[in-house]
Each structure stands twice: as structure tokens, then as C-alpha cells.
């Protein structure tokens, strides 16, 4: 009898298994937080582009473009923060001010950056704007972006034949927080 | 002392609640072992299974991450646990599930040395590798991984739901050797599979803009059979069950096995199962995505109305350079072949 009991205990130890207590409800607390970055718009302008058909220099030039970052419903619903980054090179002989406006389909301004002034000869101006969606919730309705480049008035015109340029490169970083 | 031992035994036995089919390998007392090795040595004259009851098995497995890594009650944040689990995954880690229900099974001894068995069972067999790069991208995005190439090669999965009609024979060649084989006719109700995918997504520092994004050497293929009919998903469960019995997507396969008694105590056995294929020719849909694409943002022009077109041009260029194509051609899927072997020493 003693051997049977010993054998039984050995068998139990050998063939027994155990498990850890699990709680599947934890999945309801899971929030995944991808941070996605993408190139946005870029341009390069030379002095000649500030002159109209009559050969007169304009103080500013403007561009309006479509903006499709928020077209995706997943991004639109779950985005919490947006970083706009710009790398600006000003090879002109005067300051250049960049204004950026975010517009909806009706051209209503939903958000705008503070004016970005890049000094003459500044070849590496890094600019970042953080936008928290909970404080600027309408920005996610943006469908267009308007950019205006304005030259500093120093009393003289640009040389329309000069090869110096003004460049802007940009990216957007989206901070997403989403539940399963 | 005896009472304590009895108590321990009771507690231990009450914990036992399930076993997986693989445990039945070399379990000569149960005829289901023939489905794991057609050369198993049986000592009875016949057997007959009860429909739907005699053989029900299910097992789930995971390599690289287990349920307790994620769902253990340990007061740790589940975000941290999932991040850690993804971090620890490798490209060889996978999860699988296999479920079999015997509808019919029987067998009988023939001329003492032969045992003939037959039956029909339904099987759900699925395996999927964890696509680590895709999980990293979904959970973290590309911002923390500038210059990293996210690969699509980790997208590998195969799901089969099918009926299997089979007949097998085992022969005792001599006192030491038993060999066996089984012929199977497969009737697939559902097949989903994707493998041999390529493609890299990389975000690098750019020249014209801050970043340049590359989709390189993209070649993804997704094949389905039994899931879509006339471009609509089949949602009626009964049509899946019906197709497990001589449906339109049929195949054949074989099991082979051998048991060799090296000494009276020492025995070697091995089997290879589901060496076969299924030809899918009904309700198939194959999707492929191929190409290369480079994106560096939208080039803005001043005093121009073309800027809205730029986005459309990028959309169109993406569709042209990474086209998604569907076809409804037939294809062959190989069964997930399993290999078993064992060395047994009897005291």
C-alpha cells in the first residue's frame, strides 16, 4: 500500500500541471499609441517668383493646397496631438515671414500658426508647432492649407534674376491613442 | 499521513480538466491514436465510434508569447505587458489552433496481422506567424523608427476548415515491425492563406523634404477559397458545414507510419500526417499587391491652382505603382504536414 501511495504521489507530481489566474477584461484598458510621421509640403522660391506679369515685385505670394491628413476616419477619431515641423532656409537679403492657415471647405480659418519669421541669411531655421486636439478640436476638419510668404520691406526690390532661394520643408507627426 | 496524501490526490485530480489530442500518440488503448500514427499497435478486434462524441479534440498553442504574459493578474499595466511581449517576439513565433470532431469512425481486424480503420471528421486547422514588424508599426508607428525597414515578410497565415474522409490499414510485418498508411479525401469548406510575401516600408531623411518614404519590392498575395461568392462574403454557417462533405474544393492526402520494437522494452515509432493537397477551384478570390512607391510630400506651387491636383496625382501614382489586383483563378494549397516520432521504454 505504501508503494502504491508513493507511486501515486510521484505520478501526480510528474503529470500535474498548473495555471496562472488570468483576467481577460484587462484588454479593455489597452490603448495603443502609434506615433506616425510623414512628409508634408515643400517648396523652393526664387526672387523672380515675387514679380507679377507687369514686372512689379509683390510683397507676398500665397498658395492654397488640399490637405488630406485628416481624411481617414481612424486618424480623425483617435488623434490627440499633432506636431508640425518645418525646416526653413532663407537665402534672400531680407527677412521672410511665413503664415500658415488651416481651412475647411468654406475657407473658414480653423487654426493658424503664429507668424514664422526667418531672418535674412538664416539657412537652417527649425520650427515646430504642437497642437493638442482637445484644445483646438476644429483642426481635424481641415481640408485645405494656405501658406503666405511675405517679404520684409527694406525699401528696395529683390533682384529678379538672383539665384538665391527661399526653401521650406515640412512634416507632420500624428499622436494617436486608440482602444481596441 | 494517508489522509493528507488522499487529500493531495483529490485536489490534484480535480484540477485536471482537459487534454490535447497529441497526448493520444502511442496510446494503444484508444483507436483515435491511429489518426496520429497509422502504424500504432492495437490489440482489439474492432472498434466503432459514437458520432460527434467519440473524438472531439481541440488545442491552442502559441510560441513566443503566452496568455499569462498578457492577461496575468499581476497589477502591471496591460500596455506595458503587450509592448514587452511584442518586443520579445521573433519572426519564428506563431500561434496555432486545431480542432477535430469525429463524425464517423470504425475499424476491424483482418487476417490477424491487418487492422483496417476508416472514418470521417471535420477539422479546423489554423496557423499564423506573429508579424512582428506590422505589430511594431501598429503599436508604435514609424516616428520612433526612422531608417528602419518594416518588412511584410512576417505576414504568414493559413486557415483551413475541411472535412476528411479516410481509410487506413496497418500491417504487422513481424514481431518487431508494424507499418501503416492512410488515404484521405479532403473536402475544403474554407481556406485562407498568405505566405512568401515581400515588401519594405522605410522612412528616411529626405533631400527635397524632411523625410522620404519608400515602399520597396512590395509583393503581397492573399488567397481565399470558400469565403466569397459573387464578390460577397458567405455568411451562412450551414453552407460551410455542407461543403465539408464532398464540396467542390477537393484534395487527397496520405498518412504514413511505422512502429519498430528495438528490444522488448524499447520501441521507436514515427508518423508523417497529411501529406497532401487541395485543389481550390470554386468561390476562390486571390488578391495581389505589387510594386514600388516613393513619397516625399507635396511640392507646393505659388500663385497656381495646380496644388489640389498634386494630391490627386499622388493618389493616382500610388494606385498605378502599387496596384491591387484580384482574380478568381483556381489554386492548390498544401496541407499542413505534421511529423511525430517517439522513443518509448517500457518498464
Residues near B175 by beta carbon (within 8 Å), at least 6 away in sequence: B261
Residues A101-128 have a mean pLDDT of 93
Q: Which residues of B touch A11 (CB under 8 A)?
A: none
Q: Rounded distance, CA A30 to CA B82, Å?
A: 9
Least reliable range by pLDDT among A48-62, B16-30, B59-73, B294-308: B16-30
Determine, for residues B210 and A85 on separate chains, whether the beta-carbon distance falls below 8 Å: yes
Q: Where are the domains of chain B?
A: 19-345
Whether chain A has a CB inside 8 Å of the CB on B11: the answer is no
Higher-pLDDT residue of B129 and B23 is B129
Q: Out of A143-147, B87-91, B214-218, B305-309, which region has the weakest mean confidence (pLDDT)?
A: B305-309
Please give the pLDDT value at position B20: 60
Higher pLDDT, B45 or B303: B45
CB contact under 8 A, B310 and A66: yes
Q: What percent of chain B has pLDDT over 70?
A: 92
Instruction: Round the average pLDDT of chain A to a whole number and report it.
Output: 88
- What local confidence, expressed as pLDDT, does residue A18 receive? 62
**Residue B55 confidence (pLDDT):** 78
Query: What is the average per-residue pLDDT within B326-332?
Result: 94
pLDDT digits (tens, 9 = 90+) for B234-276: 888 888 888 888 888 999 999 999 999 999 899 999 999 999 9
Least confident stretch, A18-27, A135-144, B329-338: A18-27
**Mind telling me how many Å the CA of A115 is from chain B's nearest CA?**
18
Query: Looking at residues A16-32, what average pLDDT do you find?
Result: 80
User: Nearest-CA residue of chain A relative to B83?
Assistant: A32
Name which of A17, A31, A65 is nearest B79 (Cβ-Cβ).
A31
Residue from B137, B298, B306, B308 whose CB has the most chain A CBs within 10 Å, to mutate: B298
CB contact under 8 A, B79 and A23: no
Nearest chain A Cα distance for residue B259, angstroms: 25
The 10s digit of each residue's pLDDT in B185-216 is 999 999 999 999 999 999 999 999 999 999 99
Taking residues B85-90, report their average pLDDT: 89
| H/E segment holding residue A20 | none
CA distance A144 to chain B (A): 9
Taking alpha carbons only, the member of A42, A3, A154, A126 closest to residue B209 is: A42
Q: What is the pLDDT of residue A123?
A: 93
Q: Which DSSP letter does residue B92 get?
A: T
**CA–CA min distance A30, chain B (Å):** 6
Q: What is the pLDDT of residues A44-59, one digit of tens each?
A: 999 998 898 888 888 8
Residue of higher predicted confidence among B331 and B49 = B331
Give me the pLDDT at residue B15, please. 43
Query: For chain B, what is the mean pLDDT?
Result: 88
Pick B300's closest partner by Cβ from A23, A41, A68: A41
* DSSP per position, B184-230: EEEEEEEEEEE-S-EEEEEEEE-SSSSEEEEEEEEEEEEEEESSEET
Q: Is there a contact between A62 and A148 (Cβ–Cβ < 8 Å)? A: yes
Report the pLDDT averaged over residues A90-117. 93
Task: Answer yes or no: is pLDDT of B12 > 70.
Answer: no
pLDDT of residue B112: 84
What does the pLDDT read at residue B17? Answer: 41
Q: Is B12 on the interface with A (CB under 8 A)?
A: yes
* Mean pLDDT on B42-46: 85
Q: Which ipTM did the prediction report?
A: 0.85
B chain contacts of residue A45, beta-carbon cutoff 8 Å:
302
Which among A22, A30, A85 has the least Cβ separation from residue B67? A22
Q: What number is the average pLDDT over the span A107-135?
A: 93
Range A30-179: architecture per CATH: Sandwich (2.60)
Q: So what's the pLDDT on residue A115? A: 93
The verdict on B141 touching A (C-beta cutoff 8 Å) is yes
Helix B78-88 / helix B132-140 crossing angle, nearest 10 deg: 150
Residues 170-199 of chain B whose Cβ lies under 8 A from any Cβ of chain A: none
- Candidates B270, B53, B69; CA nearest to B180 is B270
| Tens of pLDDT, residues B291-315 | 999 999 988 888 666 666 778 888 8
**CB within 8 Å of B244: residues ≥ 6 apart:** B122, B161, B162, B163, B187, B189
DSSP string, B13-43: HHH-----GGGGTT-TTSGGGGGT-TT----
pLDDT at A14 over 50: yes
Chain B, 56 to 85: residues with Cβ < 8 Å from chain A are 67-68, 70-73, 77-79, 82
Give which of B293, B136, B132 is closest to B199, Cα–Cα.
Answer: B293
Amino acid at each position: 500500500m505504501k508503494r502504491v501511495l508513493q507511486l501515486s504521489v510521484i505520478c501526480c507530481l510528474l503529470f500535474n500541471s498548473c495555471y496562472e489566474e488570468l483576467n481577460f477584461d484587462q484588454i479593455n484598458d489597452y490603448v495603443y499609441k502609434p506615433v506616425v510621421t510623414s512628409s508634408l509640403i515643400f517648396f523652393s522660391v526664387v526672387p523672380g517668383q515675387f514679380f507679377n506679369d507687369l514686372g512689379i515685385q509683390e510683397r507676398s505670394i500665397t498658395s492654397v493646397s488640399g490637405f488630406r491628413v485628416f481624411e481617414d476616419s481612424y486618424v480623425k477619431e483617435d488623434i490627440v496631438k499633432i506636431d508640425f515641423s518645418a525646416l526653413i532656409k532663407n537665402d534672400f537679403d531680407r527677412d521672410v515671414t511665413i503664415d500658415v492657415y488651416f481651412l475647411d471647405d468654406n475657407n473658414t480659418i480653423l487654426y493658424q500658426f503664429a507668424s514664422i519669421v526667418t531672418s535674412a541669411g538664416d539657412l537652417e531655421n527649425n520650427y515646430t508647432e504642437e497642437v493638442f486636439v482637445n484644445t483646438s478640436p476644429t483642426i481635424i476638419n481641415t481640408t485645405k492649407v494656405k501658406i503666405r510668404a511675405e517679404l520684409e520691406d527694406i525699401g528696395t526690390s529683390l533682384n529678379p534674376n538672383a539665384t538665391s532661394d527661399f526653401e521650406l520643408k515640412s512634416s507632420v507627426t500624428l499622436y494617436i491613442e486608440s482602444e481596441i | 499521513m494517508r489522509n493528507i496524501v488522499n487529500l493531495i490526490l483529490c485536489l490534484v485530480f480535480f484540477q485536471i480538466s482537459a487534454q490535447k489530442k497529441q497526448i493520444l500518440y502511442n496510446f494503444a488503448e484508444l483507436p483515435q491514436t491511429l489518426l496520429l500514427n497509422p502504424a500504432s499497435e492495437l490489440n482489439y478486434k474492432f472498434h466503432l465510434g459514437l458520432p460527434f462524441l467519440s473524438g472531439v479534440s481541440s488545442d491552442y498553442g502559441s510560441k513566443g508569447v503566452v496568455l499569462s504574459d498578457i492577461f496575468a493578474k499581476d497589477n502591471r499595466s496591460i500596455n506595458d505587458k503587450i509592448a514587452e511581449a511584442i518586443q520579445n517576439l521573433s519572426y519564428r513565433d506563431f500561434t496555432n489552433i486545431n480542432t477535430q470532431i469525429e463524425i464517423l469512425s470504425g475499424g476491424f481486424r483482418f487476417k490477424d496481422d491487418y487492422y483496417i480503420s476508416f472514418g470521417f471528421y471535420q477539422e479546423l486547422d489554423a496557423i499564423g506567424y506573429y508579424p512582428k514588424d506590422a505589430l511594431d508599426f501598429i503599436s508604435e508607428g514609424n516616428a520612433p523608427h526612422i531608417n528602419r525597414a518594416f518588412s511584410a515578410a512576417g505576414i504568414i497565415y493559413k486557415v483551413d476548415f475541411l472535412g476528411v474522409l479516410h481509410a487506413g490499414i496497418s500491417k504487422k510485418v513481424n514481431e518487431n515491425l508494424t507499418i501503416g498508411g492512410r488515404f484521405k479525401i479532403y473536402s475544403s469548406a474554407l481556406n485562407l492563406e498568405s505566405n512568401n510575401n515581400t515588401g519594405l516600408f522605410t522612412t528616411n531623411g529626405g533631400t527635397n523634404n524632411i523625410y522620404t518614404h519608400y515602399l520597396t519590392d512590395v509583393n503581397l498575395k492573399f488567397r481565399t477559397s470558400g469565403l466569397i461568392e459573387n464578390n460577397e462574403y458567405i455568411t451562412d454557417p450551414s453552407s460551410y458545414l455542407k461543403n465539408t462533405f464532398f464540396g467542390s474544393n477537393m484534395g487527397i492526402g496520405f498518412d504514413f507510419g511505422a512502429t519498430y520494437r528495438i528490444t522488448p522494452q524499447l520501441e521507436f515509432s514515427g508518423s508523417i500526417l497529411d501529406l497532401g493537397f487541395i485543389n481550390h477551384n470554386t468561390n476562390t478570390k486571390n488578391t495581389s499587391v505589387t510594386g514600388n512607391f516613393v513619397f516625399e510630400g507635396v511640392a507646393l506651387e505659388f500663385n497656381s491652382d495646380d496644388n489640389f491636383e498634386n494630391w490627386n496625382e499622388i493618389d493616382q501614382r500610388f494606385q498605378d505603382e502599387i496596384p491591387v489586383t484580384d482574380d478568381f483563378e483556381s489554386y492548390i494549397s498544401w496541407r499542413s504536414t505534421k511529423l511525430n516520432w517517439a522513443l518509448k521504454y517500457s518498464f
